[in-house]
Amino acid sequence: MIVSNLTRKVLVLAALCAAFALILVAASSAPLAAATAPAATATAAQDNPVEATDESIAAGRQVYGRFCRSCHGMRGDGRGMAAPAGSRPANLIDDQWDHGDTDAAMYKVIREGVPPKYDMDAWEGRITDDEIWHVINYLRDLASE
């Protein structure tokens, strides 16, 4: 009788562990599917595939505030407080863009950084392609004010 109670407890514990493992696998596959969904990407001749709606501009403002403001400044004027010593972040609201002024060129700079010294880091893998496009929409809106 002692052996059968112990065996039953071990079987119940094993079944609970298996059920928990299945739940973990099922829960982790949903974010993986979302992460592998195709995002809007740029080609050299492509305009921004994300429409500049109020929602996109607001999303871009949030991403800019989290990742860009510290170097490029609150208003995008290149006067951020956390820019690396000796660097001069681009003014994103003036009439001339230092590294191209098309949406595709801006996308490339944000995604791949600015070589050769990479004063501006590449953001690929840290923010999504759609977030990059939202930031571009926000910057266009900010520059038009």
In the block, which residue shows the tokens 């050299």? 44
Instruction: Write the pLDDT tens digit of every residue in 45-55.
Output: 468 999 999 99
Distance CA 110, CA 134 (A): 12
CATH superfamily placement of domain 54-144: Cytochrome c-like domain (1.10.760.10)
Instruction: Give the per-residue pLDDT at 17.
Output: 55
Instruction: Write the pLDDT tens digit of every residue in 8-27.
Output: 776 665 665 565 555 655 55
The residue among 100, 107, 2 whose CA lies nearest residue 49 is 107
Distance CA 131, CA 133 (A): 5
The residue among 130, 85, 137 whose CA lies nearest residue 111 is 130
Domain regions of the chain by residue span: 1-37, 54-144
Instruction: Give the per-residue pLDDT at 44.
Output: 44
- The pTM of this model reads 0.66
Name residue 124's beta-bridge partners: 127
CA atoms within 13 A on the CB side of 137: 22
Instruction: Give the per-residue pLDDT at 35.
Output: 40
**Average pLDDT over the chain, rounded to an integer:** 79
Instruction: Write the pLDDT tens digit of every residue in 25-43.
Output: 555 544 433 343 444 544 4
Distance CA 84, CA 86 (A): 6
Helix (H, G, I), strand (E, B) or coil at 127: strand
Instruction: Write the pLDDT tens digit of every residue in 55-71.
Output: 999 999 999 999 999 99
